[in-house]
Amino acid sequence: MNTLMTSDHRRPTISDHTSPVVVARDLKTHFQMSAGIFAALTGGAVPTAKALDGVDLRIREKEIVGLVGESGCGKSTLGMSLVRMYQPTHGQILYRGEDVTKVEGRRLKDYRRHAQIIFQDPYSSLNPRLTIGQIIEEPLIIHGLGNAAERRQKVVRALDLVRIPAKDNIDRYPSDLSGGQRQRIAIARALVLEPKFIVADEPVSMLDVSIQASVLELLDELSRELGLAVLYISHDIATVGYICDHVAVMYLGRIVEEGKAEDILSEPLHPYTQRLMAAIPRMDLADAPQRHELKGDVPSPMAIPPGCRFASRCPYATELCHAVEPDLAACLGTRKVRCHIHDDRAAAEYPHLRRPKQDQVTEMADLGVLAEVAGSRHG
Amino acid sequence: MSQIIVSDADPIKGRSVLGAMGQSLRMLMTDNFAVVGVSVLLAFAVIAIAAPWIAPYEPFKAMMTESGRLNRLDPPSSLHLLGTTSFGNDVLSQFLHGFRVALLVGLVAAIAVGLISTIFGVLSGYFGGYVDDALMRLTDIALSIPTLPFSIVAVALLGPSIENIILVITVLFWRNGARIIRSAVLTERERVYVKWARAAGASHFHIITRHILPNIIRVVFLWVTMSVAFAVLTEASLSFLGLGDPTVISWGQMLNTAFSSGNLRTAWWWVIPPSLALVMLVSSLYLIGRAYEEQTNPRLRRR
Amino acid sequence: MASLALDRSSPRRMSEANRHELAELNHRLEAKPAARLKVENLSVTYATERGPFYAVDDVSFEVRPATNLGLVGESGCGKSTVVKALMGLQPDTAWVGGQALLDGDNILGLGERALQQIRWSRISLITQSAMNSLDPVYCIGDQIIEAIRAHERVSKSVAWARAEDMFALVGLPASRLFEFPHQFSGGMRQRTVIAMALALNAGMLLADEPTTALDPIMQSQIMSRIRGIHEQMRRSMILVTHDIAVVAETCEDTVVMYAGQVAEKGPTNDVLKLPLHPYTMGLQNAFPRLPVRGEPRQPLISIPGVVPNLHTPPKGCRFAGRCPFATDKCHSEPPPLVQVGHQSATCHYVDRAAEFRVLAAQPNTWRKTKAEA
């Protein structure tokens, strides 16, 4: 059963012909910020936070898709939009071919049975006043499935799936359990309705490193055993590399790079992905790739700059980058990158604008006096 | 994956309401002050229920002396343990009957106030938006009404009866509770498990009854305890001002009669018992509320 | 001791007298040597409703002058408690035992006045959340000059000039000294806190998980500045973190803590490449490593079980409940601190470390432990 942990672990290859469970098509979720009275009276534009601004993604059965990015990039918004916690404002969500973007009532409730979400904080995602049994049973009660005896059976089965002994724990309270165990309960709760799609929003970020692996392992096994499609959201690209088949990197509401996990991790193409990978601390400082300091801060989702969204911070940015936003273009087979360095089309259209080149730094960020001298190492 | 055969098909149990209450009570009993408060309250309740049987005389019956004259303002004696009033009534009997009014008003008003505050608070806090705005503006209007002048006018218009007094108290006292409960609901609404329940498709009713109410019940309880104290005091104040129900004996009314007959300073046997009883009732409620708050709000606990 | 060659090209006009005063201040401050800290038998016990809580038990280590020491451990190991004890930030209900000699002076158990004298001036703290250090109602500049003027007799404008220099060190424009903490983004706030901690060139810096709340790119930027401090200013530092790789990149020495005790300590290279304590071995293998193309992925292990309850600490080795190599001796006798070269570990079977290392890299070893995560 535990094939993950053999030294020659490979995730099962998913054939291209498998139809996807969930597809996002140009999905956008814009939030209207509350305008002041003045603006409302004078008819001024209401500021909109474009948290999610056009994402295409597909997740197939038994596939674990990783979504990586920093705060404000829209990954959580995408996850929440896919389970209809946030209402997408444009675009489509297709569940097994059916458009569920705007459904309500009975149909929405049906969709909710099949799409579940797990949150980051194991300490606040369980109601402290309910027993473990009641917590896991709740989704069944919400959807009116089965009588008390049948519900108990399903709860026991769910606990078994997450490797928590049912008999001992079904009547305990969350405060009796550790963080790792609570996260498993949250997973059990998500599984009790037998969903087909799970969004895991940073499920291990708040757990100690020494127990992260067991929860990740669990997610991996469950996806294979139960045929689940999983969207794994994290800012920690290293853990993403462990269980994901396919990875998408997000920045300011859009995907900037996409491809197979091992490709992206070993050879990132987009400057942002490169910087993310470089940021990971290495056991040997000498192994760390060059870490360019990024200029400035992430732009606000309410004021997205023209051209490439990353241009304001990119060390390789040129005039072309500031003027034209690149499309997500196919590159090297299954990979896709949103960058003029790897995409010729814009350069052909605007020949007068200088084109960026890999490793050609155009502008250095101000490091201050304290930045470490490159290549030096403590004794 | 093995097949689970469940031999006992018991439904999944949790903490029942009674069990929760029992546990709260036990926690409360560890605080000495709370024990005092609860005992006093229980004693008062017992007296209130038993009053008609243990009162030696009828409260409004005029007592005659042997010589056939009205036994007015008689200090405590073996015949009248707490003496008599200026109208010849037995103070003790009146005093015991006063317990009933106090507790009746306290209880009914508190329940009514509790219910209204909770409904307002929950609807406001949970739904937010226009519902919240509308309800809170209503609350603001209610808050701007001055308590005593309004009560006086209302009682004057509606007539002095116990029902009207309870009505007035109810109309006035839900407003603070609504705000307090609303903020508690706001906190609960943002909990991750509530968000999760919504994501799973729970109806509003389900979330309110399953997640919000059980977690705010403490706040409601605290508020109700305080409301009882306010209600009792308000009833006493109104009666003292002469707006009380003349057919019913209450402590406030006793004090009113003592005052208006000019004997407030001299007839100590008439004045002290009702005053003391009021003080004890309100204090015991306060002690219970305080101990409860300390239990539920860990920051208040002494190290 | 390197002194900072700062470009005094700030447009701020200063009078001759002030310039002189500033030069003197800088000279005084830069003359401060890096501190040596010797922590001996530090114990911290909290009084709680459920009885005493033995948060830290008999911890000893040394920070050599001008070196970085990484204090590594997971939740509940006591590392933050150690740092708070060193800064004198423990509540009154805590009992602190042992001593911490900062350049020979014991800094534990000092009164409020004595603490005020050493804080910022000899020992500085960079906290996890910058908002814990920054007062939201005062502008940043005012806060820094308050710290400076509490210890040095200089005029406001000289102190402000020094604050500007500090901001230049961390790469923030001097004009932002007039702003308030809420106007800064998370990464900038953290840089501000670093600038504040350096204002008086304290010999000892304590950094308590300074990057945990930040995004990965910001984390690497802050850490590179911390390494810069180390190289250019030659201060001593204790860096508290749960991330072993951060320690690998930044610290010369490492102390690994578990359940309030020191599990292992020594030079970072030794501790991380050839760990002696099974916990360190497990922790190492629990960190995801980046895949190398063509090679099979390294298995990721999990240490089953939970940290023991420190209200009633176990009588033998505290890691015995989760250790795959534990014997009866481990459960009954507390292990001694055994020294091997420059490294030491509290374990009964240090001599078998090489064998354990091989086994610890395999997930099945950890699976056989009876504890349940």
Instruction: Write the DSSP assignment of A203-250 as a string of letters.
Output: TTTTS-HHHHHHHHHHHHHHHHHHT-EEEEEES-HHHHHHH-SEEEEE
DSSP A315: T
CB atoms within 10 A of CB C70: 28
Q: Of C142, C168, C201, which residue constitutes the final position of a domain?
A: C201
Overall domain count for chain B: 1
**Domain containing residue B66: CATH number:** 1.10.3720.10
Residue C313 placed within a domain: yes
Across A178-182, B72-76, B294-298, C300-304, the highest mean pLDDT is recorded for A178-182
Q: Which domain holds residue A203?
A: 20-33+48-252
Closest CA to B116 of B165, B169, B161, B164: B169
Residue C107 placed within a domain: no
User: What's the gap in Å between the CA of C310 and the closest CA on chain A?
Assistant: 15
**Rounded Cα distance, A184 and A180, in Å:** 6
Q: Is residue B218 within 8 angstroms of chain A, CB to CB?
A: no
* Res B303: pLDDT: 40
pLDDT tens for each residue of A295-317 = 777 888 888 899 999 998 888 88
User: Does the pLDDT value for residue A55 go beyond 90?
Assistant: yes
Q: Of C156, C178, C201, which residue constitutes the final position of a domain?
A: C201
**Residues C10 and C157 grouped into a single domain:** yes
* Res A377: pLDDT: 39
Report the share of chain A in percent with pLDDT over 90. Answer: 39
Residue C63 placed within a domain: no
Q: Of C153, C168, C201, which residue constitutes the final position of a domain?
A: C201
Mean pLDDT of A144-165: 90
**Rounded Cα distance, A319 and C173, in Å:** 26
**Domain containing residue C192: CATH number:** 3.40.50.300
For B203, nearest residue in chain A (alpha carbons): A142
> How many contacts (CB atoms, under 8 Å) link A and C?
168
* Res C74: pLDDT: 87
Residues of chain A numbered 338-357 and touching chain B (CB < 8 Å): none
- A312 contacts A296 by C-beta, under 8 angstroms: yes
For C93, nearest residue in chain B (alpha carbons): B303
Residue in C45, C46, C48, C49 to test binding to B, most B beta-carbons within 10 Å: C49
**Residues C193 and C333 grouped into a single domain:** no
Q: Which chains lie within 8 Å of chain B at 3 or more CB pairs, if any?
A: A, C
Q: Give all strands of the β-sheet with A48-60 in edge-to-edge order.
A: A48-60, A20-32, A90-95, A98-99
DSSP A118: E
- The kind and range of the H/E element at C274 are none
Overall domain count for chain A: 1
Contacts of A124 in chain B (CB under 8 A): 191-193
CB atoms within 10 A of CB A235: 22
| Cα radius of gyration rounded to whole Å, chain B | 24
DSSP A204: T
Query: Which residues are registered as beta bridge partners of A274?
Result: none
**Rounded Cα distance, A55 and A92, in Å:** 10
User: What's the gap in Å between the CA of C51 and the closest CA on chain B?
Assistant: 11
Q: Give all strands of the β-sheet with C94-102 in edge-to-edge order.
A: C51-63, C37-48, C94-102, C105-106
Better-scored residue on pLDDT, C8 or A262: A262
Sequence-separated contacts (24+) of B132-140 with Cβ below 8 Å: B132/B182, B135/B178, B136/B178, B136/B179, B136/B182, B139/B175, B139/B178, B139/B179
Q: Which domain holds residue C22?
A: 1-31+126-201
Residue C354 placed within a domain: yes
Residue A302 placed within a domain: no
Tokens of B160: 């002095």
**Least confident span in A153-167, B69-83, C4-18, C233-247:** C4-18
Residue C270 placed within a domain: no
Three-state secondary-structure class, residue A21: strand
Closest Cβ–Cβ partner in C249, C283, C304 for A281: C249
Residue A227 placed within a domain: yes
* Res A348: pLDDT: 80
**Residues C197 and C279 grouped into a single domain:** no
Hey, are the CB atoms on A214 and C225 less than 8 Å from each other?
no
**Rounded Cα distance, C229 and C37, in Å:** 18
**Domain containing residue A207: CATH number:** 3.40.50.300
Hey, are the CB atoms on A143 and B201 less than 8 Å from each other?
yes
User: What's the gap in Å between the CA of C49 and the closest CA on chain B?
Assistant: 7
pLDDT tens for each residue of A185-213 = 999 999 999 999 999 999 998 888 888 88
Overall domain count for chain C: 2
- A63 contacts A228 by C-beta, under 8 angstroms: no
Residue A225 placed within a domain: yes
Closest Cβ–Cβ partner in C74, C219, C225 for A370: C225
For C170, nearest residue in chain A (alpha carbons): A368
Instruction: List phi, psi (to 5°) of A56.
Output: -115, 125
* Res A80: pLDDT: 93
Residue B6 placed within a domain: no
C131, with CB counted inside 10 A (0-12, 13-18, 19+), is middle
Contacts of B4 in chain A (CB under 8 A): 153, 156-157, 160, 166
Hey, are the CB atoms on B9 and A134 less than 8 Å from each other?
no
Distances in Å between the alpha carbon of A114 and those of A56, A185, A232, C207? 20, 18, 17, 46
- B292 contacts B225 by C-beta, under 8 angstroms: yes
Tell me the pLDDT band of A3, cut-offs 50, 70 and 90: very low
For C174, nearest residue in chain A (alpha carbons): A368
Report the share of chain A in percent with pLDDT over 70. Answer: 89
Query: Which residues are registered as beta bridge partners of A200?
Result: A118, A232
* Res A367: pLDDT: 61
Contacts of C185 in chain A (CB under 8 A): 297
* Res A252: pLDDT: 93
Q: Which domain holds residue B249?
A: 27-300
DSSP B90: B
For B302, nearest residue in chain C (alpha carbons): C49
* Res A364: pLDDT: 72
Q: Is residue C93 within 8 angstroms of chain B, CB to CB?
A: yes
Across A41-45, A94-98, B267-271, the highest mean pLDDT is recorded for A94-98
Q: Is residue A282 within 8 angstroms of chain C, CB to CB?
A: yes
User: What's the gap in Å between the CA of A231 and the closest CA on chain C?
Assistant: 19
| Cα radius of gyration rounded to whole Å, chain A | 23
**Rounded Cα distance, B143 and B141, in Å:** 5
* Res B17: pLDDT: 65
Closest Cβ–Cβ partner in A125, A148, A161 for B193: A125
CB atoms within 10 A of CB B113: 27
Q: Which residues contact B169 (CB under 8 A, 6 or more apart)?
A: B105, B109, B113, B230, B231, B234, B235
Tell me the pLDDT band of A281, cut-offs 50, 70 and 90: confident
Closest CA to A329 of A314, A339, A320: A339
Residue at B216: amino acid letter: I
**Mean pLDDT rounded to a whole number for chain A:** 85
Q: How far apart are the first and last CA of chain B?
A: 50
**Rounded Cα distance, C256 and A140, in Å:** 45
* Res C8: pLDDT: 45
Tell me the pLDDT band of A249, cut-offs 50, 70 and 90: very high
How confident is the prediction along chain B (303 residues), in pLDDT tens digits per residue?
344 444 455 666 666 666 666 777 777 777 788 888 888 888 988 988 888 888 887 777 777 777 777 777 778 777 777 788 888 788 888 888 888 888 888 888 888 888 899 999 999 999 988 889 999 898 899 889 888 888 888 888 988 888 888 888 888 888 888 888 999 999 999 888 998 898 888 889 999 988 998 888 888 888 888 888 888 888 888 888 888 888 888 888 888 888 888 878 888 888 888 899 999 999 998 888 888 777 766 655 544
User: What's the gap in Å between the CA of C23 and the closest CA on chain A?
Assistant: 19
Tell me the pLDDT band of A154, cut-offs 50, 70 and 90: very high
Contacts of C170 in chain A (CB under 8 A): 368, 370
Tokens of C150: 């509490």
Residue B22 placed within a domain: no
